[in-house]
Amino acid sequence: MSVTAPRLADPAPEQLRPTVSSRRVVATLLRKELLVELRTLESVPAMSLFSLATFVIFHFALNRGSVEGDLGAGILWVTLLFAAILGVNRLFVADAEQGGFDGFLLAPVDRSAMMVAKALTLLAYLLVLELVAVPAFAILLLGPSLWPALGGIALTLLLGDLGVAVIGTLVGALAVRTRARDLLGPLLSLPLFVPIVIGGARATAPLLAYAHRGGLSGRWLATLGVYDLLFGLIAYALFDFLLED
């Protein structure tokens, strides 16, 4: 079958509309994401409140007023991860429900740009989350002072966030158009997050300890970095297959 255009309006081959530059597309998408989030305030406040509530629950569950070292690092990372899952669950819902995928698919753009934009969005959410959660953690539960280790913790969190953002985007896109999207999202994410927890918690633990404040461990940061890179590439390559029909 064939459907043709009006002869007069047939553009010469070199005038075929060029695909829009990817950077511009990512910027457009990112702007749209943040605009919608600012209007609805769906994800970030929920993630932040969730983390605060979780710290309180940890206090009662562990019956401790202050934590440090391995325990402290563990509580921080677990809380951040579960809050992140809330964000992952909501990441693609607006698009799935309001026809955002179709609108994007009809545009003459590189589809992987959506993956980059969504990952950056999730990263932004996580950074804002941490601006709330980390001070709250320091106030509510952490024994040693946070200040000396702040730089190291920030770097570790950033590397961990990159991994969570990339995996969260992939899993979010995978789960959103299934029947059990709220269940599959967490189930798929958690095993994939394990190496991030390993690297992140191991690197953070000495920074939060009373005795012999360890320095930043290059080994764990390198592990996080490699993991981020590997899954970033994989997500970028596979994302296209999730969008089309």
Partner 1 sequence: MTRRYGEREALRDVSLSLPAGRTLVVFGPNGAGKTTLLRVLATLLRPHAGRVEVLGAGLPDDGWRVRGRIGLLGHEPLLYRELSAAENLSFHASLHDIRKSRVEEVLEAVAMTARAQEPIRHLSRGMVQRVAVARAVLHEPDLLLLDEPYANLDPAAVELVAPLIGPESGRTRVVCSHDPGGGMAEADLVLGLREGRVALLAEAPAVSSEQVTELYQ
Partner 2 sequence: MYPKGLRALSISTVVAMTAALALVFFYAPLEAEQGFLQKIFYVHVPLAIISLCGFVLGGVLAIQHLRTRDPRWDLRSYVVIHISIVFAMATLITGSIWAKGSWGHWWVWSEPTLVSFLIVFLLYATYQPLRFAIEDPERQSRYASVFAVTAGAFVPMNFIAVRMSTAYLHPRVLGSTSNLPGSMALTFLVSLLAMTLLFATLCNYELTAKRARARLRALKRRLAAEGEPQRTPRSAAPAALPVQPSTAGTAS
Residues in 121-180 that interact with partner 2 by CB under 8 A = 170, 174, 177-180
- β-bridge partners, 4: none
40 contact choice in partner 1, partner 2, none (CB below 5 to 8 Å, kind-dependent): partner 1
Residue with Cβ nearer partner 1 (102 or 182): 102
Residue with Cβ nearer partner 2 (104 or 239): 239
Q: Angle at Cα 239 formed by Cα 235 and Cα 242, nearest 5°?
A: 135
Burial 154-172 (b: 16+ CB within 10 A, else e): eebbbbbbbbbbbbbbbbb
Residue with Cβ nearer partner 1 (17 or 179): 17
Regarding 24 and contact with partner 1 (CB under 8 A), the answer is: yes
Regarding 58 and contact with partner 2 (CB under 8 A), the answer is: no
As a whole number of angstroms, the distance between CA 201 and CA 158 comes to: 13
148 contact choice in partner 2, partner 1, none (CB below 5 to 8 Å, kind-dependent): none
Report yes or no: 125 and 39 within 8 Å, Cβ to Cβ. Answer: no
Residue with Cβ nearer partner 1 (28 or 198): 28
Residues 102, 151, 230, 233: which binds partner 1 (CB under 8 A)? Answer: 102
For residue 45, give both structure tokens.
């406040």
Burial 192-216 (b: 16+ CB within 10 A, else e): bbebbbebbbbbbbbbbbeeeebeb
Regarding 106 and contact with partner 1 (CB under 8 A), the answer is: yes
CB of 184 to partner 2, least distance (A): 6
CB of 32 to partner 2, least distance (A): 24
Cα 77 → chain centroid: 14
CB of 157 to partner 2, least distance (A): 18
Q: Which residue has the tokens 């005038």?
A: 15
Q: Which residues of this protein are in contact with partner 1, per CB under 8 A? A: 1-7, 9-10, 16-20, 24-25, 28, 32, 35-36, 39-40, 94, 98-100, 102-109, 244-245
